[in-house]
Amino acid sequence: MPQSLVKNYIHIVFSTKYRDDFIDEKIEKELYSYIAAICKDFESRASQIGGTDNHVHILCRLSQKTALMKLIQEIKAHSSKWIKMKGRKYENFFWQNGYGAFSVGEKNIHTVTNYIRNQRQHHHTQNFKNEFIEILEKHHMEYDEKYLWD
């Protein structure tokens, strides 16, 4: 039987519900480690995770055995339950319903990795809404802005 060879890098982006600021620097490293472990459980190794108080970026190599929608569903469900147990400040935490997912070519891995790594610095000059729209437009994605935000 012939081998199935697959190498799909995906840049995943989603925010907290209503872009509420929950992911402070006190909890972010632990949250990112938790998300990385979920990715690993689904054989979709995360090579970089970053974000700010109201959103997350994940660069992972999607497993050929896992549907993208399933991976994101699992990341959001498990990490949401986890963060709610981190104290009163986080008990009303929710992720937004939607997400963005973008394929990344091998030659762009380094660029996307650095972009994700420098999210806090990047967001000194740009908010998440503008950033996400820029990413959508860069990837020539059609969208209706009234359905992007919850």
Concatenated DSSP letters of 23-85: --TTTHHHHHHHHHHHHHHTT--EEEEEEETTEEEEEEEE-TTS-HHHHHHHHHHHHHHHHHT
Q: By residue range, what is the domain housing residue 114?
A: 8-147
Which two three-digit tokens encode residue 101?
Answer: 């997912």
For the stretch 29-59, pLDDT in tens is 999 999 999 999 999 999 999 999 999 999 9
Structural domain includes residue 45: yes
Spatial separation of the C-alpha atoms in residues 83 and 71, rounded to whole Å? 18
Residue 134 within any structural domain of the chain:
yes
Q: Does the residue 3 lie in any domain?
A: no
pLDDT cut 70: percent of the chain above it: 99
Q: How far apart are CA 14 and CA 52, in angstroms?
A: 11
Residue 2: pLDDT over 90 = no
Q: State how many domains the chain has.
A: 1
* Gap between the Cα atoms of 83 and 91, Å rounded: 8
CATH of the domain at 79: 3.30.70.1290
**Which pLDDT belongs to residue 1?**
52
User: Which one has a higher pLDDT value, 5 or 63?
Assistant: 63
Residue 55 lies in a domain: yes
Is residue 89 one of the residues assigned to a domain?
Answer: yes
Question: What's the predicted TM-score (pTM) here?
Answer: 0.94
